[in-house]
Amino acid sequence: MSEIIVPDVAEVEAKLLKGPYHQWLGLRVIEVAKGELTLKATFRDEWVVNTAGGYIHGGILAALVDLTADWALVAWTGKGVPTLDIRVDYHRPARGDLRIKGKVIKVGKQVSSAEAWVYDSEDRLVASGRGLYAMPAN
């Protein structure tokens, strides 16, 4: 079994921010560990779905769940892992900057799974989910 080398925060952030969508989301890598990743997403007015309530559209939360779970696997494998399936649960309206924690659940030869949790600026869980990801060929 090969040893897993954990990349540093700057290395993962440099790769992550090559994507224009990731840049638009205002993402920053806060922490990287073996099979884990923590991101921060800086609030944008364009995320708001309901101006009266001021809360963030569920599509933004789903994207954050998917990409954080995905990038926890990227940090593990060093390669891109396309999403096969994802499930997102919404727990409460989200407002402000968000913190997202991703964790690899199982690494398989062809398919792996990872989870992510999205927290608001008051550290309340606003969304969570799990994805299945296609593993790169060796």
> Per residue in 102-129, pLDDT tens?
999 999 999 999 999 999 999 999 999 9
- SS3 category, 52: coil
Exposed, middle or buried, 73 (CB in 10 Å: 0-12/13-18/19+)? buried
**pLDDT band per the 50, 70, 90 thresholds, residue 76:** confident
Mean pLDDT of 41-58: 94
> Vertex 41, ends 35 and 44: CA angle to 5°?
160
* DSSP codes, 68-137: HHHHHHHHHHSS---EEEEEEEE-S---SSEEEEEEEEE--SSEEEEEEEEE-TTS-EEEEEEEEEEPPP
Q: Which of 74 and 48 is assigned the larger pLDDT?
A: 48
Mean pLDDT of 57-63: 97
Give the CATH number of domain 9-134.
3.10.129.10
Q: What pLDDT score was predicted for residue 80?
A: 83
Q: What pLDDT score was predicted for residue 6?
A: 59
Asked if residue 59 has pLDDT above 50, the reply is: yes
Query: Structure tokens of 132?
Result: 């299945």
Q: What pLDDT score was predicted for residue 96?
A: 95
Q: What pLDDT score was predicted for residue 5?
A: 55
Q: What is the mean pLDDT of the chain?
A: 92
Mean pLDDT of 60-65: 98
